[in-house]
Amino acid sequence: MSIQIYKDLSLIFGPPTGNFFDNIVTASEQTGLPRCKNYQDMLFEILDEMESRGSINQIFSTVVGEDLTIGKTFQTEQTFSKARPGIENLVTNSIGLVSVPVLMFFPSQFLTPLGDPIRNVVTGDDLQYVGAVMGQSLKLDWVQSIGVYETQAA
């Protein structure tokens, strides 16, 4: 059986619910910016805070089964030319692009607290668990996880 090694892992964050969504609607009404832009700004601010406090390290450490630091992440977005099922409530008007935030991780940068490479291989299942924890914590409709394979080891 071969082990898949990931070059990068991404969490794609679906729309929020409850008060978080209400805050986005209010911000869009006040600023005139699209809901998806306000959502991205607010979510990335939350994720930056989680990262600075070590919360994302802790989630990954628990799921992967060893203490680790995730290293640098990359914040981006996935953009669609029109609303798709599951993101309709992020559309401010019927015209224009709609996007959802994406957070990328790079397993080759995952290190132990001493700066050594981690022993365990980060799997797609691990990423799904991390996404589920973050999605529940942030009260999001959904979180998708995707990975890009680097190599295939025997």
DSSP for 29-98 reads HHH---HHHHHHHHHHHHHHHHHHTTHHHHHHHHHHTS--B----EEEEEEESS--TT-GGG-SSSSS-E
Residue 42: name the closest of 2, 33, 69 by CA.
33
From the centroid of its chain, how far is CA 85? 19
151 pLDDT tier (thresholds 50, 70, 90): low
**Is the pLDDT score of 93 beyond 80?**
no
- The values of phi and psi at residue 90, to 5°, are -90, -5
**Is the pLDDT score of 135 beyond 70?**
yes
Please state, for a pLDDT cut of 90, what percent of the chain lies above it: 80
Please state, for a pLDDT cut of 70, what percent of the chain lies above it: 94
Q: What is the pLDDT of residue 154?
A: 47
Task: Report the C-alpha gap between 24 and 16 in whole angstroms.
Answer: 9
Task: Report the C-alpha gap between 39 and 101 in whole angstroms.
Answer: 8
**Is the pLDDT score of 84 beyond 90?**
no
Other Cβ atoms less than 10 A from the Cβ of 39: the count is: 30
- State pLDDT tens for residues 36-74: 999 999 999 999 999 999 999 999 999 999 999 999 999
Describe the chain by its helix, strand, coil percentages, rounded to 5: 40, 25, 30
How many domains are there within the chain?
A: 1
Q: What is the pLDDT of residue 95?
A: 63
- State pLDDT tens for residues 9-28: 999 999 999 999 999 999 99
Residue 118: name the closest of 150, 59, 70 by CA.
70
Residue 98 lies in domain:
3-153
pTM of the model: 0.91
- Quote the DSSP letter at residue 113: T
Task: Report the C-alpha gap between 98 and 115 in whole angstroms.
Answer: 39
Q: What is the pLDDT of residue 82?
A: 78
Q: What is the pLDDT of residue 2?
A: 60
